[in-house]
């Protein structure tokens, strides 16, 4: 890295490589894509997550209906470099040692973003503490709270130990990381002299530095912990001492609430998700930054070759994919057929997605399809409300006038009606186009790349974070 990092990105999961099981799905993939774009853009960023030495539980249901969970073992040393520092986090009055492993994300222009994965499986730690960085989303409330202490509190301490003192933005990717706020407050308080209480000026100073992205419209997706458990786990090192009213609500420590209270910029992940989140978190100002994908990761090699030929520079400037409209139809079709042949059976001419509104906060798989010239045919929810231009970039299942509707009321879900619309549109409009007017179908494919690939990417997304949240 040529510049000292100024932005720290914290995420409970991150998709770095398919063989590193430190992610479970969309949230982790988004974190990975975000960091790949940050590296391409040469943003001065550093990332903190947990090691997840045994990965994300693979759940299997056996013939008797019994659920079993399998750990995924992976060779940490093959991918990561151990860092020298050790930091301590106190859990239940035990001193838990934490170390970090480094993974470098290399950008298209040669710049790197370091990712530090925290690990407590160290000789000398108590047996329970050694398991704390084993499983992504495994275990009970106590295990989760301990993990979140390692991520938030241990993460800040590790960054300091690694020499990152001048960070000026802390981006919490979902509420799991928000205990970092308590460590930043402790730092502010101790800088003013031992024993000082947390003051308004500390809270304001922390708020200026923190950015929070919420990802789920499902209330159960927001971590909250009973105060008895919190007292037990925090022990005598309780960083909230004397200030629980400020951070707790209804007798619970709610990590989403903590993040909302402590951030100067809060956003949902699509325009629609902003509306839903604004209703869930009335009293806070919620903005929107629609998610994207890292195009060079998700475009097939055949499409990449085509882009390299017709749109040189697209890797550093995703917006230039708008020129896909001038790629000859025959070559788009050829590249698509070659990619489809390789994928054999997951190969798709049309991306069908049927979420239950408003639960698809953004959705990114349809963006990955678009970058490959595959149009979406989806229920209007999440990003597709912004990305769908009927018959141009793809098709809506159901009412395609959603964009023009000024109604604040939740859309009425009628699965039977949606199914009827879906088969009708598929049979009457989409299939005839695909089989009988191939040139027009390929035009939709070109628009999927040119209008949606050029916009629904993490480069555009990060540029919005930079101007709206990081450097403001």
Ligand X SMILES: *Cc1c(COP(=O)(O)O)cnc(C)c1O
Taking the least distance from each CB to ligand X, the nearer of 144 and 368 is: 368
Q: Which two tokens stand for residue 304?
A: 């990449």
User: Total residues contacting ligand X (rule CB under 6 A)?
Assistant: 7
Taking the least distance from each CB to ligand X, the nearer of 354 and 365 is: 365
Residue with tokens 């230039």: 320
CB of 369 vs ligand X, minimal distance in Å: 9
| Span near ligand X by CB under 6 A; candidates 25-33, 202-210, 240-248, 450-458 | 25-33
Which residues touch 91 (CB under 8 Å, ≥6 apart)? 129, 132, 146, 149, 233, 235
Within 13 A of 47's CA, how many CA atoms are on the CB side? 31
Taking the least distance from each CB to ligand X, the nearer of 99 and 368 is: 368
| Span near ligand X by CB under 6 A; candidates 100-108, 151-159, 358-366, 395-403 | 358-366
Beta strands in 200-306 (DSSP E): 210-213, 224-226, 248-249, 252-254, 265-268, 287-288
CB of 361 vs ligand X, minimal distance in Å: 8
Q: Of 25, 109, 313, 328, which one interacts with ligand X (CB under 6 A)?
A: 25
56, 137 contact by CB (below 8 A): yes
261 beta partners: none
Q: How far apart are CA 268 and CA 383, in angstroms?
A: 11
Q: How far apart are CA 98 and CA 399, in angstroms?
A: 52
Q: Which two tokens stand for residue 147?
A: 């993990």
Sign of CA dihedral 415, 416, 419, 420: negative
Q: Which of residues 363-392 bind ligand X (CB under 6 A)?
A: 363-365, 368
Taking the least distance from each CB to ligand X, the nearer of 178 and 458 is: 458
Q: Which of residues 27-86 bind ligand X (CB under 6 A)?
A: 29
R_g of the chain computed on alpha carbons: 23
CB of 274 vs ligand X, minimal distance in Å: 17
Please, what's the b/e burial string for 363-375 (b: 16 or more CB within 10 A of its CB; e: otherwise)?
bbebbbbbbbbbb
| Span near ligand X by CB under 6 A; candidates 6-14, 266-274, 362-370, 454-462 | 362-370
Taking the least distance from each CB to ligand X, the nearer of 365 and 413 is: 365
Phi/psi class of residue 191: alpha, beta or left (left: φ > 0; alpha: ψ in -120 to 50)?
Answer: alpha
Q: How many CB atoms lie within 10 A of CB 297?
A: 15
Taking the least distance from each CB to ligand X, the nearer of 120 and 393 is: 393
Taking the least distance from each CB to ligand X, the nearer of 222 and 368 is: 368
Taking the least distance from each CB to ligand X, the nearer of 261 and 386 is: 386
Q: Which of residues 266-295 bind ligand X (CB under 6 A)?
A: none
CB of 462 vs ligand X, minimal distance in Å: 17
Sign of CA dihedral 72, 77, 83, 87: positive
Taking the least distance from each CB to ligand X, the nearer of 29 and 39 is: 29
Based on the shown chain and the rule CB under 6 A, indicate whether residue 178 belongs to the binding site for ligand X.
Answer: no
CB of 20 vs ligand X, minimal distance in Å: 13
- The H or E element that residue 408 is part of is none
Based on the shown chain and the rule CB under 6 A, indicate whether residue 26 belongs to the binding site for ligand X.
Answer: yes
| Span near ligand X by CB under 6 A; candidates 336-344, 359-367, 389-397, 446-454 | 359-367
Q: Give the total residue count for the chain.
A: 472
CB of 108 vs ligand X, minimal distance in Å: 20
DSSP assignment string, 432-471: HHHHH-HHHHHHHHHHIIIIIITTSBHHHHHHHHIIIII-
Based on the shown chain and the rule CB under 6 A, indicate whether residue 348 belongs to the binding site for ligand X.
Answer: no
Q: How far apart are CA 200 and CA 197, in angstroms?
A: 10
107, 99 contact by CB (below 8 A): no
| Span near ligand X by CB under 6 A; candidates 23-31, 219-227, 340-348, 401-409 | 23-31
CB of 409 vs ligand X, minimal distance in Å: 25
CB of 368 vs ligand X, minimal distance in Å: 6
CB of 196 vs ligand X, minimal distance in Å: 44
Based on the shown chain and the rule CB under 6 A, indicate whether residue 226 belongs to the binding site for ligand X.
Answer: no
Q: How far apart are CA 388 and CA 410, in angstroms?
A: 19
Q: How far apart are CA 400 and CA 405, in angstroms?
A: 10
CB of 23 vs ligand X, minimal distance in Å: 8
Taking the least distance from each CB to ligand X, the nearer of 37 and 262 is: 37
Q: Which two tokens stand for residue 333?
A: 């079709």
Taking the least distance from each CB to ligand X, the nearer of 145 and 295 is: 295
Taking the least distance from each CB to ligand X, the nearer of 104 and 354 is: 354
Q: Which residues bind ligand X (CB under 6 A)?
A: 25-26, 29, 363-365, 368
């Amino acid at each position: 890295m040529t510049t000292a990092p100024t932005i720290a990105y914290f995420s409970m999961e991150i998709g770095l490589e398919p063989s590193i099981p430190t992610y479970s799905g969309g949230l982790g993939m988004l974190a990975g894509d975000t960091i790949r774009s940050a590296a391409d853009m040469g943003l001065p960023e550093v990332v903190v997550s947990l090691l997840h030495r045994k990965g994300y539980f693979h759940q299997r249901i056996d013939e008797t209906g019994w659920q079993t969970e399998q750990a995924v073992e992976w060779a940490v040393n093959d991918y990561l470099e151990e860092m020298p520092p050790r930091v301590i986090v106190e859990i239940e009055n035990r001193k838990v040692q934490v170390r970090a492993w480094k993974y470098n994300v290399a950008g298209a222009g040669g710049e790197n973003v370091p990712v530090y994965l925290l690990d407590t499986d160290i000789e000398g730690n108590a047996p329970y503490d050694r398991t704390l960085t084993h499983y992504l989303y495994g275990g009970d409330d106590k295990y989760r709270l301990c993990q979140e202490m390692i991520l938030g509190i241990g993460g800040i301490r590790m960054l300091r130990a690694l020499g990152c003192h001048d960070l000026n933005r802390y981006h919490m990717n979902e509420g799991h990381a928000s205990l970092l706020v308590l460590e930043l407050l402790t730092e502010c308080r101790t800088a003013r002299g031992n024993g000082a209480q947390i003051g308004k000026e500390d809270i304001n100073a922390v708020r200026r530095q923190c950015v929070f992205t919420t990802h789920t419209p499902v209330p159960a997706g927001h971590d909250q912990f009973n105060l008895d458990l919190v007292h037990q786990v925090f022990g005598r090192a309780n960083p909230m001492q004397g200030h629980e009213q400020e951070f707790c609500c209804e007798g619970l420590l709610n990590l989403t609430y903590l993040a909302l209270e402590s951030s100067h910029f809060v956003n949902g992940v699509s325009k629609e998700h902003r509306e839903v989140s604004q209703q869930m978190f009335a009293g806070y100002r919620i903005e929107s930054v629609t998610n994207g994908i890292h195009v060079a990761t998700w475009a097939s090699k055949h499409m990449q070759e085509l882009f390299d030929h017709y749109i040189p520079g697209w890797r550093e400037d995703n917006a230039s994919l708008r020129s896909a409209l001038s790629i000859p139809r025959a070559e788009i079709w050829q590249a698509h057929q070659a990619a489809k042949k390789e994928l054999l059976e997951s190969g798709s001419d049309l991306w069908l997605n049927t979420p239950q509104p408003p639960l698809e906060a953004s959705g990114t798989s349809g963006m990955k399809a678009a970058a490959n010239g595959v149009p979406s045919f989806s229920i209007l929810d999440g990003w597709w409300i912004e990305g769908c231009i009927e018959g141009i970039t793809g098709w809506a299942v159901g009412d395609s006038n959603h964009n023009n509707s000024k109604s604040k009321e939740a859309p009425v879900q009628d699965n039977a009606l949606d199914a009827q619309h879906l088969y009708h549109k598929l049979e009457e409009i989409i299939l005839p186009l695909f089989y009988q007017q191939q040139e027009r179908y390929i035009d939709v494919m070109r628009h999927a790349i040119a209008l949606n690939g050029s916009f629904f990417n993490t480069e555009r997304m990060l540029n919005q974070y930079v101007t709206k949240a990081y450097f403001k």
